[in-house]
Structure 1
Amino acid sequence: MKNKNLQMLGVVFSAVLLAACSSTDVEEGGEVNSGQSLSGFDGSVSGGSGAAGAQGFEQNEPAAEEEQMADLNSVFYFEFDSSSLTADARADLDAQIDRLRDSVGTIRLEGHADERGTREYNIALGERRAQAVADYMVLNGISRYRIETVSYGEERPLSFGQGESAWSENRRVELK
């Protein structure tokens, strides 16, 4: 009887140990998503066919919306180790905000950093940069529910060179 209890305890302990060692699903590439997007919040259904499409729900026209969003793509640059908007970035953002007020789609802000610093620091810096742009947009009338921020840190550089000119191209937030 004592041996069976010890065997059962060993099996339970092994199962718990194996469960604790299991990995979680983490996206490769260092993407951090602060999930502030509520697409479909207005009740519209996008994409796909099936039961929802058969019931007569209105679907967004992806081609027209993608074309409109392609016109809105823009890049905002930052100083070294900073998440403060420059005067040029604010001027560019003001022009984009006027156009974004008329659209209804989700706004994706992708924060980036140059290669200097640790991977973790650059992911956090990219997130702060994207959040700075998001905060500026909210202050100027864009709904927070439409904005999604993502940080890629140093993982997706535009320029692979060394030196200030290459690094300055990578310190950015892309509006998608």
Structure 2
Amino acid sequence: MRNLRLFGLAALAALALPAAAQEYSADEVVEFFSEGGAGATRGICVGTAQECAEQSAPSGFDVLVNFELDSATLTEEAKSNLTQVASALSDDRLSDAQFVLEGHTDASGTEAYNNVLAERRAQAVADFLVAQGVSIDRIEALGLGEGNPRVEDPFDPVNRRVEMKLKLQ
């Protein structure tokens, strides 16, 4: 039996920035999420359940918010990047878009603790964006814990992050 499976989030490739770059502009964020950018790509699978399960999961736009071990406190660098994100979300091309903020951790700590910490990280980003004028109705914060590491080493600090994805209506 064939089925149509729609991922609940847009399939987004990570924003391509040079490894040393740690900042981006509001225009880059808008381009990524608008019709011309990678954010317009949707993760759709038409096939059997097994065929769809074998496809890679959608990835997200890394809002370049990384965290210290056992912390949900935004750094100055993170605040600078999130200011650009907030500015981008006020752009007319993104006025109808809604977003999911996914918090992640490395594998330090218990699974239960990491789930709570991931939620706190996503909420810290959401709170900052709301303070910058983004409507709370446009963003949803989720804590996903340690289950989706960015790199193979589950303890690598790169895994302590928040990703931002388009939410399909």
- Structure 2: gaps (5+ residues): 1-32, 41-59
What residue is the counterpart of 1:70 in the other structure?
A: 39
Residue deviations 1:67-87 (CA, integer Å, cap 9, x gap): 557289233101110000011
Find the partner of 1:95 among 43, 61, 84.
84
Letter in 1 for 2:157: S
Instruction: For 1:140 and 1:66, locate their aligned partners in 2 and report how far apart those are by CA, in whole Å.
Output: 24
| TM-score for both structures, normalised by structure 1 | 0.57
Residue deviations 1:34-87 (CA, integer Å, cap 9, x gap): xxxxxxxxxxxxxxxxxxxxxxxxxxxxxx856557289233101110000011
Letter in 2 for 1:91: S
Instruction: For 1:117 and 1:155, locate their aligned partners in 2 and report how far apart those are by CA, in whole Å.
Output: 13
Q: Which protein has the bigger helix share?
A: 1
Q: Which protein has the bigger strand share?
A: 2
> Secondary structure at 2:162's aligned position in 1?
strand
Instruction: For 2:98 and 2:126, locate their aligned partners in 1 and report how far apart those are by CA, in whole Å.
Output: 12
> Secondary structure at 1:153's aligned position in 2?
coil
Tell me the C-alpha RMSD between the 2 structures: 2.2
What residue is the counterpart of 2:126 in the other structure?
A: 134
Q: Which one has the largest radius of gyration? A: 1
Instruction: For 1:141 and 1:108, locate their aligned partners in 2 and report how far apart those are by CA, in whole Å.
Output: 17
Please state if 1:85 is matched with 2:77.
Answer: no
Over the matched positions of the two proteins, sequence identity in percent amounts to 41
| TM-score for both structures, normalised by structure 2 | 0.59
> Secondary structure at 1:91's aligned position in 2?
helix
What residue is the counterpart of 1:151 in the other structure?
A: 143
Instruction: For 1:169 and 1:76, locate their aligned partners in 2 and report how far apart those are by CA, in whole Å.
Output: 10
List 4+ stretches of structure 1 deviating above 6 A.
Answer: none
Q: How many residues align?
A: 110
Letter in 2 for 1:81: D
Instruction: For 1:85 and 1:132, locate their aligned partners in 2 and report how far apart those are by CA, in whole Å.
Output: 7
